[in-house]
A and B are shown apart, each in its own frame.
Chain A
Amino acid sequence: GENVEQHPSTLSVQEGDSAVIKCTYSDSASNYFPWYKQELGKRPQLIIDIRSNVGEKKDQRIAVTLNKTAKHFSLHITETQPEDSAVYFCAALSGYALNFGKGTSLLVTP
C-alpha cells in the first residue's frame, strides 16, 4: 500500500521565520495531496491541498509544492505566527482513502 514519510517530526522556529515540512510518497498513482493542521485536542482541519496536475499552490502565507517525478511534496509557511503552532499532517490519496504521514509538531516562539 501507499507509504507516506514526513520530515521533520518536530520543528521549532522564531516568529516571522519560514517553516518547511517535507513528505514523500510511494504510490505513483496518487493524484491528490492535502495538508491538515491539528491543534491540541482538536480534529484535523484541511489547510491546503494540491492535485497532481499542478506544481504549486498558494493561499496567503501557506504554499504547497509537488514534484511528481521525485514523489515528494512540501508545505511552506511564511511569516510564522504563534497561532501556527500545531501538528501538521501530509497525506496522499491511494484509491479511495488518504494515507497520512506521522506528523510534524511545529512550535513558533515569539
Chain B
Amino acid sequence: NAGVTQTPKFQVLKTGQSMTLQCAQDMNHNSMYWYRQDPGMGLRLIYYSASEGTTDKGEVPNGYNVSRLNKREFSLRLESAAPSQTSVYFCASSEIGTGGTYGYTFGSGTRLTVV
C-alpha cells in the first residue's frame, strides 16, 4: 500500500518550458488536491478535485491546469513555467468528498526550480 505517489521528486525547468506533475493514490479516496509550499507562506491550495470528473480552483490557480484522469490520478500541468513557480508541490488525497476520514494523506513532494 503505497499511499500517495508523486513524480518526479526533483525538477529543474527553464522559463517558458512546460511539464506535468503526476500524482496517484491507491486508497480509493474520492478527493485529491495540489498545494504549493513556499517559505513562510504555509501550504496554499492550487486546485482540487472533490470527486472523479470534477475540478475546482483554489487560492493560487494562475499558471496551472489540472486533470483528474480517473479516481486514482490527478495531474498538475505548468504550461509555461515562470521563476515565481519555483516551489515545493504536494499532492494529497482524502475522503472528504464521501464524508469519510477527513485527514489528508500527502505525497512526498516535488521540488521544482524554474531558472
Contacts and interface: CB of A to CB of B under 8 A. Distances in A.
| A and B bind | yes
A43 B90 contact: yes
A102 interface: yes
A43 to B, nearest CB: 4
Contact of B43 (A1, A9, A44): A44
B40 interface: yes
Which range holds the interface residue count of chain B? Answer: 20 to 34
B71 to A, nearest CB: 15
A89 interface: yes
B87 to A, nearest CB: 14
Interface centre among A1, A9, A89, A100, by most B CB within 10 Å?
A: A100
B42 A96 contact: no
Contact of B42 (A43, A93, A97, A102): A102
B102 A93 contact: yes
B50 interface: yes
B103 A43 contact: no
Q: Which 10 A-B pairs have the closest CB atoms?
A: A102-B42, A43-B106, A96-B50, A100-B43, A46-B103, A100-B42, A32-B102, A97-B48, A103-B42, A96-B96
